Structure 1
Amino acid sequence: MTDWIMNEDEPEAFTHAITVMSLITIMSAVCEFICDLIYNITMSCIHTYIQGLVFQSVLKQEIAFFDTVHTGDVVSRITTDTNKMSESLSEKLSLLMWYFIRAIFLFLLHLSGKFHQTLSVRVQESLARANDVATETFSSIKTVRSFANEDGETRRYKQRLEETYSLNKQEAAAYAASTWTNSLSSLALKVSILYYGGRLVTGDDVSSGDLVSFVLYELQLTSAVEAFMSCYPDVKKAIGASEKIFEYLDRKPQMPPDGSLAPQTLEGHLQFKNVTFAYPNRPDTAVLKAFSLELKAGQMTALVGPSGGGKSTCVSLVERFYQPQEGEILLDGKPLHNYKNQYLHNKIAVVSQEPVLFARSVKENIKYGLEEASDEDMFSAAKIANAHKFINDLPNGYDTDARGRSGGQKQRIAIARALIGRPQILVLDDATSSLDTESEHLVHQALLSSSHCAILLITHRLSAVEKACHIIFLQGGEVLEEGSHAELMKKGGSYAQQVQKQNTVFQRNKEGVI
């Protein structure tokens, strides 16, 4: 164009060139708009997909995985890391790809980007540790408050933030150094081109138009290099943030494959045969030692004994959260791991001592996982759980928010939630500990008379197991005694002594109240 301006013999050439360049510019702007629109929509879809995929992958891990990681770490990976990765990629990757074809400035960038990537990983790990402190503190706020340790937890959280702040300062210094290198190299390139180009024009080696066109190209090259150098560290940071994300995505659950059995009818005959088990984080400490147990439909079997004896471990094995190292668990004569996971959890219901109620209505909590269940089924389950009356007395009945319920009310709602699916095996793991003796007796009587399922009752309150068909006294992972209440009391062993101790304590408490 410069040469055409200086060429007086062709005055229309410049107008023609301007027209052509204007058309090309308009077409380029339209194409760029379309490309940016498609790219940003695509990146938004990718972000949503990856976040859901990571969440799903974490949920599929074996229970032992959650014993070895902190909740704050997992939440940080799913939220903070995926957001950081997506934002960096959506903002910078497009420019990086766009300008990559124009300029290759790799060596210095590689070193700088590698440093950024390492720092990014450390920053994310530091943030995860801080999130873990916050999650742990807020989830245990009553304990923190009861020990008046608010200041201690604040100091602990600030200490984690100070670690993050220190890493952020290093990251800021690295970014400043990268920006300084970028500006200095750009300035040096411009000065060199102008100096050498001026010498060439003075010596009549090139025309003025050639120099101007070269400078224009150089400006595009410089902008490409600047964009590349500013984007590359951000992309490397995104790669660092994504390391843990893909670690979760690539991790294969350490559990046997899902079984294939899903029979139409299930009797509910459960057997533990010489089961020995130790938790993955304590492989040398056996929690159960050659343990045997049998549950039959329509019968209540009680599992009692001192704390730490392995009672709750039996529940985890029934739910197939873990696999025994020795022995086998049979359901209707077939290995438990041969059944489909979904089928198994539909047929086995567990109610724990501290059941979790979601921030929803009582109705939604009882129908959780079985939204298609009828209201009649819900009412029937609530009546067996001795919960129907108090629920009807709530301000909005079954539509009342389930939060804020007392311990006994929560347990009865949880029992109703377990019963609505008509399980073949019902496990009550201290599930009536917050009920008074009369309410507990009513619940157990209703379960025995209204349900044909096999019931495993785990409790520390021995007065609740007198009506059980079979009682197993478990201590140190081993069965010390088993039999009916009358048989064990007549024997005068560990069970009888424990009953006597509890009766003595109960009588003293009663006299003290009087």
Structure 2
Amino acid sequence: MFALLRCCLTLAAVYIISLGELSPGPTRFIAVHSSLPAVLVSLTSALRLGDHLCGAVGDTRCWMMSAGASLLAALFWEVGAPDSNGRKDEQQKHGVLFMRVVRMYKPDCALLLVGFFFLTLAAICQIQIQFYTGKVIDNLRDSYVPDEFLSALLLMAVFSVGRSVGAGGRGGLLTWAINSFNCRVKGNLFQAQTKQEIEFFDTTKIGELTSLLSKDIPLMGETVCLNINVLLRTLIRTLYTMVLMLNLSWTLTFLVLMEVPVTGLIQTINNKHSGRLVKATNDSMTASNEAVSEIIMAVRTVRSFNAEKHEACRYKKRLLETHRLKKQKDMVSVVSLLAQRLTGVAVNVLMLWYGRLFIQRGQMTTGELVSFIIYQSDIGHNIRTLIYMSGHMLTSVGAAGKVFEVLDRQPQIKTDGKHAPDRLAGHVLFQNLNFAYPAHPDAEVLQDFSLELPVGQMTALIGVSGEGKSTCASLLKRLYEPQNGQILLDNTKLELYDYRYLSEKIAVVSQEPVLFSGSIRHNITYGLKDCSLDAIQEAAHQADAHDFITQLEKSYDTEVSEGGNTLSKSERQRVAIARALVRHPQVLILDEVTSSLDDHCETKVLRNLSSHPDRTVLLITHRLKTIERAQQIAVMARGGIQEKGTHRQLMDKNGLYCTMREKFATSGS
């Protein structure tokens, strides 16, 4: 009642003096300062600890002690949870992320529950060992009682076994849960990444995506599981230890607890600066990984331009930046640790001083003081751990934010079409397309582009580099969506088709085909569930690849390296053509695929491709002989089709087509 009355009167006075404005900081200080004496009186009375320092009104020492504790608590609150909206929003965001990560552990709930049981067992047994250590010391120093001594030793042994069993079971089960979490979330994240449209990969660095899988997900798993493990274990030990300490000496217990607000304030300041530096360090490490990936992927270009030293210096600069940030973070941790240790030393000196006085007065035994010292060393560490983990557990889930951004992201290109007819003619119509790449929205590649690909004919699309020829292939394959216009396949919009059905009916072979590590058979049947060897060989024959494949040591089972670098460029192109043909596509897009083939091989491949009367072929090339074989030639310029017709018709016009042929002939095409 006195505390409530003091609080109300003080707040009213401050309210009047400040003309109706009460800031949260002073309000919290007044509330804590008014209630502390009452709390102390209540505790000493309830625990029957003797005379208390504070009366109903309180003397000078009581008010000074309360004022100091209240001030430290208010400072701790202000640093740890300031009232700025930005910080509140950030903490709320961290809390939401943390709970999402916790919910993702639902399939591992049984493992976690059993693990937390072993955790509790290990924590309680550890404290009991310390308690009976004091009993043993008392029996050694004072009157020796054999039964009590042997009982204390036996209980110490039992609790030691219990602690070992609990610690081993806890570690094994929680590690099992973390591994299960990592495996499950990595699979989900990789699936979410591969579902995104190509625009996503154009604007996102590969190093960031691989870093999510290799670094951020393991950090998520350990942050939640291991942090909760440490937090619960420390909380159990702290509460149990505090009860035993109060039972031994409430005065020394309150003296030891004076360390808490100071340590909490220091740790909160450390968390604030460390969180910023950890984020900067992670970003710097990601940039270093991206540099390594980029250099290794383009190692041939680096070697050909003699840029090894330049790239090594660039990578070294990234490493030095990471090292600088880590050094700053370590320096902050060192200063924080030093301040905490000095605070702990001061509290320990006071505790030992008063402990000696209590032993002289007969209020404690030596064994009890030894037990109290052991408890104090543990509870100091435990309280520091609790303060650190309560803040670290929320701030460290920042890594989960990037993971959830990808998991929650919906692809911009819809793949929910259902149209999948039994028979597809393969008639393609580009209607009034306008398109600009997302990375460069102001630079339109296609402007009012219209083109018809007749069924069963080969259409050659020609133009100078950068006019958008390959873009047409990407749009037809639905790697991008046009900003305006539409693409019709058999008079049906492309987006209405089933995505898997469309990937089988439309095949693309690019100028730089990508082969994966594995056998040639695996590369030809890539993405197909069931494919016979006869079908593979037939596709290889049409691509003029069968002969060179059978000459290899293991024929179709020959392993190729990542990227297919063990094969020549001509061989890689023919394997890629076979990979497209084995699907029996109705629409086939060839983007400069014959650029590395000799005339004989090119003639054979094109003859095989044109022998299919129902297949629509879009040929993008600069080679003059290849262009002349097409039934229709479309000339691109300024983002649209400028001329269209057969070779003879376009030659008779003596227009842009003739000019381009002269350029191609001059360049050696």
Q: Distance in 2 between matches of 1:410 and 1:446?
A: 18
Tell me how far apart the structure 2 counterparts of residues 106 and 338 of structure 1 sit (CA, whole Å): 60
Partner of 1:352: 510
Matched, 1:81 2:223: no
Normalized against structure 2, the TM-score is what?
0.70
Match of 1:427 in 2: 589
Asked if structure 1 preserves the Cα contact closer than 8 Å seen for 2:550 and 2:556, the reply is: yes
Q: Report the Cα offset of residue 127 of structure 1.
A: 1.3
Contact 1:122 1:167 in 2 (8 A): yes
Normalised by the length of structure 1, the TM-score is 0.89
Q: Give 1:37 shift.
A: 1.5
- Paired AA for residue 652 in structure 2: K
Q: Which residue of 2 aligns with 1:55?
A: 190
> How far, CA to CA, are the matches of 2:144 and 2:335 in structure 1?
52
Query: Does residue 384 in structure 1 map to residue 384 in structure 2?
Result: no
Cα separation, 1, equivalents of 2:552 and 2:164: 63
| 1:225 equivalent in structure 2 | 383
Is 1:463 the counterpart of 2:625? The answer is yes
Residue equivalent to 2:281: 123
Asked if the contact 1:81–1:124 (Cα under 8 Å) also holds between the matched residues in 2, the reply is: no
Q: Any idea what the Cα deviations from partners look like across 1:314-365, whole Å, max 9, x if unmatched?
A: 1111121111111111222222112232222122110000001122222221
Gaps of 5+ in 1: 510-514
Post-superposition CA distance 1:71-94 (Å, at most 9, x none): 223222321333455566666653
For 1:39, what is the secondary structure of its paired residue?
helix
Distance in 2, matches of 1:27 and 1:92, equals 23
Matches within 5 A, 1:297-446: 297-402=455-560, 403=564, 404-446=566-608
Cα shift at 1:447: 0.7
Q: What pairs with 1:68-217 in structure 2 (closer than 5 Å)?
A: 68-86=203-221, 94-103=229-238, 106-204=264-362, 211-217=369-375
State the 1:293 CA deviation.
1.9
- Give the Cα separation in 1 of the matches to 2:623 and 2:617: 16
Residue 323 of structure 1 aligns to a residue whose secondary structure is coil
1:252 CA drift (Å): 3.2
Taking CA–CA contacts closer than 8 Å with sequence separation of 6 or more, which of the two structures ends up with the larger relative contact order? 1
Return the letter of the residue paired with 1:472.
A
1:272 offset after TM fit, Å? Answer: 1.2
Distance across 2 between alignment mates of 1:145 and 1:303: 35
Q: In the TM superposition, what is the alpha-carbon distance from 1:160 to its structure 2 partner?
A: 1.1
**Which of structures 1 and 2 has the bigger CA Rg?**
2
Of 138-147 and 398-407, more deviation after overlay is shown by 398-407
What is the alpha-carbon distance in structure 2 between the residues aligned to residue 305 and residue 76 of structure 1? 40
Alignment-derived partner of residue 484 in structure 1:
646
Structure 2, unmatched stretches of 5+, are: 1-131, 239-259
2:397 counterpart of 1:239: yes
Q: Counting helix residues as a fraction of each chain, which structure ranks higher? A: 2
Determine helix, strand or coil for the equivalent of 2:414. coil
Question: Over aligned residue pairs, what C-alpha RMSD do you find?
Answer: 2.9
Partner of 1:512 in structure 2?
A: none
Q: Secondary structure of 2:232's match?
A: helix
User: Deviations for 1:14-56, whole angstroms, at most 9, x for unmatched residues?
Assistant: 5445544543443343233222221111111112223333322
Structure 1 counterpart SS, 2:512:
coil
CA distance in 2, matches of 1:135, 1:471: 40
Q: 106-115 or 206-215, which moves further after superposition?
A: 206-215
Q: Are residues 317 and 178 of structure 1, via their aligned partners in 2, closer, same or farther at CA, if it must alter by over 3 Å? A: same
**Preserved contact between residue 47 and residue 82 of structure 1 (Cα < 8 Å):** yes
CA distance in 1, matches of 2:406, 2:475: 25
